[in-house]
Structure 1
């Protein structure tokens, strides 16, 4: 099992940035003007939020290819996948893997069986996911045999109770993005159902050898 430490203020702790992330996850290549219309925020405020999310590796920007006269627009998409890889996110997952490997070398007693059943690629995915969740303000508890990530209690869900569904969807997409960037067989399967609205356990799934090869 892997435990994390709670971090402070994060890029996704702000409800407006959650709303912006939801927009670019729903449909990539959004303009600032589109996000202003959808959120009702001032253009400068949207730009500041988008810049923060870009700096954290959650959003990537691309310049529009134009075949007509006019200044090309900047288009924003959620990081993840082949068409929207974030160099910042890729650096983060590589650094997480290096830290994880170092910890397992110098502190083998902390997790004597880690990696024995997951394999190196999946283990590095877990390293990246835990680091990202800690940076986002969570205290993740990972069960590497059951492939679950327990984020209970979720302070963000309490603070943004009126938009919990959107918040959870955004975070699940972000987790999937990190796993994709790290590369390996693990993917987000969804949240486990719970009677307690404050409970949050995310179920991961592992691709079969055939699926991974495809």
Structure 2
């Protein structure tokens, strides 16, 4: 039997995950993000709904059957939510595109990067190492919860995904948007031509990003 404190911590973790999302999120995506069983997450979300911390919204119908419930924390969106929400909208739109979805998603990510760089500026001392640091700093500001590994900060573990629902539904599209963004940000800060690699949901609650060879 779970202790009262354990249940409370579980609810807090689910609520924290929802507060970091600009858009409503489904149970399965929340379970991935919090490394919990979907049934446990459903219990915790239902409690949060009953106590006014979370609202639930019907997912737009996109096929047969009853649309699933999506959940959203009450209160303001996270900082930079407008940029993340734009990326999520692009991912959903590109999923239905008849064009080369990956190429279009990469291009969309590069356009997103140009907007971010224009807003934030670039590092004053461009170099591959500075570009990696700047990229990790940016992803932290956007809510990805990055931590670096290795002596050269080439490997980054992303502990949160602000595009959680879209990433769960369309991982290839969302990852391509992210890769295009990261690639352009690195290049803008002296990283040179690079081919970043992203492994979605490499472990419960995290994705793994490699910033270079």
- Normalising by structure 1, we get a TM-score of 0.45
- Normalising by structure 2, we get a TM-score of 0.45
